[in-house]
Amino acid sequence: MRIVWAVLAVSILAACAGTQTTDSQPPAAVEDRGAKPAAGAQGVETKPIGSVDLTGRPAAGAAALKDPNNILSKRSVFYDFDKYDVKDEYKPMVDAHAKYLRENAGTRMLIQGNTDERGSREYNIALGQRRAESVKRMLLLLGGREDQIEAVSLGEEKPRATGTGEEAWAQNRRSDMLYPGEY
Partner 1 sequence: MRRLLAALLLSLVAWPALAQLSIEITGAGAQRIPIAIAPFAGEAALRSGVSSVMRADLERSGLFRALELPPLVPQPSEASTVNYAEWKSRLADALVLGSIAVRADGRFEVRFRLYDVVKQSPIGGVAYTVSREQLRSTAHRIADYVYEKLTGEKGVFSTRIAYVVKRGARFELQVADADGANEQAMLVSNEPILSPAWAPNGKRIAYVSFQNKKPIVYVQDVEVAKQNVVANFKGSNSAPAWAPDGSRLAVVLSRDGNSQLYLINPDGSNLRRLTSSAGIDTEPNFSPDGQWIYFTSDRGGSPQIYRMPASGGEAQRVTFEGGYNVSPRISPDGRSLAFIMRNGSKFQAALLDLNTRQVQVLTDSELDESPSFAPNGRQILLATVIGGRGVLSAVSSDGRVKQRLTLSAGDVREPAWGPLAH
| 61 vs 180 by CB, closer to partner 1 | 180
Nearer to partner 1, 7 or 96 (CB): 7
Which residues, 6 or more positions from 94, have their beta carbon under 8 angstroms from its beta carbon?
77, 86, 135, 138, 139, 142, 177
| Residue 180 · residue 50 · CB < 8 Å | yes
Chain length of the chain: 183
In the range 45-74, which residues lie near partner 1 by CB under 8 A? 47, 49
Least separation, in Å, of the C-beta of 49 and partner 1?
A: 6
Q: What is the distance, to the nearest Å, from the Cα of residue 31 to the centroid of all Cα atoms in its chain?
A: 21
- The CA distance from 103 to 30, in Å, is 43
Q: How far is the CB of 2 from partner 1 (least distance, A)?
A: 11
List beta partners, residue 44.
Answer: 6
Residues 129-168 that bind partner 1 (CB under 8 A): 129-130, 133, 150-155, 157-158, 164
Q: Which of 65, 86, 101, 127 binds partner 1 (CB under 8 A)?
A: 127
Q: Which is nearer to partner 1, 91 or 121 (CB)?
A: 121
d(CA 98, CA 53): 19
Smallest separation (angstroms) from partner 1 to the CB of 150: 6
Please name the helix (run of DSSP H) or strand (run of DSSP E) that holds residue 113, with its range, or none: strand 109-114
The answer to whether 172 touches 156, Cβ cutoff 8 Å, is: yes
**Binder among 123, 141, 143, 160 for partner 1 (CB under 8 A):** 123
Q: Site residues (CB under 8 A) for partner 1?
A: 3, 5, 7-14, 16-34, 38, 43, 47, 49, 82, 110, 117-123, 125-130, 133, 150-155, 157-158, 164, 183
